[in-house]
Amino acid sequence: MIIYIHGFGGSGKGVKAELFRSYYHDNNQKFIAPSLSYVPDLAISTLEELIESCDNKPKLIGSSLGGYYAIYLSDRYNLKTVLINPSTKPVKTLPKFLEDKFATNWYDLSSFEVTQKHLNMLKKYEVKTPKEENFLLLLQKDDDVIDYRVADSKFKISKKIITTGGGHSFDGVEEYFKDIDSFLG
């Protein structure tokens, strides 16, 4: 089973999730991309229940904030994990939403409130020293949301694919599906 974990304001019906869903469906592999709560504790709880309900060890693909969650879950359950432009320090990158109080859900353009309590919840999911052999990172240098060098330096010995150009959503991710499959096994 492959579990895709979307990022902040995302959903299990986002563009990347749908690309992966189609790819894994076409290749007869079990795949799920749940739409998660914007409340970190609820999102993690949902993912832990999903992982624990799998017959075999699942494999994770996490994008942006979903990458942060995936790092935590990979560490907790010792899972092979692909990170796509991951957030490794969301407590530093998300406070800008506290000023506006609300963020946008990109699936239906609804708004949700972002609070200091949510940011405090994120702190307990930080993994200081990840098991780097469990990770493949896909990073694009022109990510306009998160500096790719932060993840690059946190994961010194992990396998990486770093490309020039692109953006936070990782333009052309489908070109790397075979690399992802090869890593996940």
Q: How far apart are CA 158 and CA 37, in angstroms?
A: 29
* Confidence class for position 101, pLDDT limits 50, 70, 90: confident
Q: How much is the average pLDDT of 96-118? A: 88
Q: Where on the phi/psi map is residue 178: left (φ > 0), alpha (ψ -120 to 50), or beta?
A: alpha
| Digit-coded pLDDT (tens) for 18-64 | 999 999 999 999 999 999 999 999 999 999 999 999 999 999 999 99
Query: What ranges do the domains of the chain cover?
Result: 2-184
Q: How far apart are CA 168 and CA 176, in angstroms?
A: 16
Residues 6+ away with beta carbon under 8 Å from 135: 71, 74, 81, 82, 83, 155, 158, 159
Alpha helices in 39-166 (DSSP H): 40-53, 65-77, 90-93, 96-100, 116-123, 148-154
Q: Top-level CATH class of 2-184?
A: alpha beta
| Digit-coded pLDDT (tens) for 121-169 | 999 999 999 999 999 999 999 999 999 999 999 999 999 999 999 999 9
| Inter-residue contact 124 to 149 (CB < 8 Å) | no
Q: How far apart are CA 136 and CA 157, in angstroms?
A: 10
Rg of the chain over Cα atoms, rounded to whole angstroms, equals 15
Q: How many CB atoms lie within 10 A of CB 78?
A: 11
| pLDDT of residue 97 exceeding 90 | no
| β-strand partners of 84 | 63, 138
Q: How far apart are CA 46 and CA 168, in angstroms?
A: 25
* Confidence class for position 99, pLDDT limits 50, 70, 90: confident
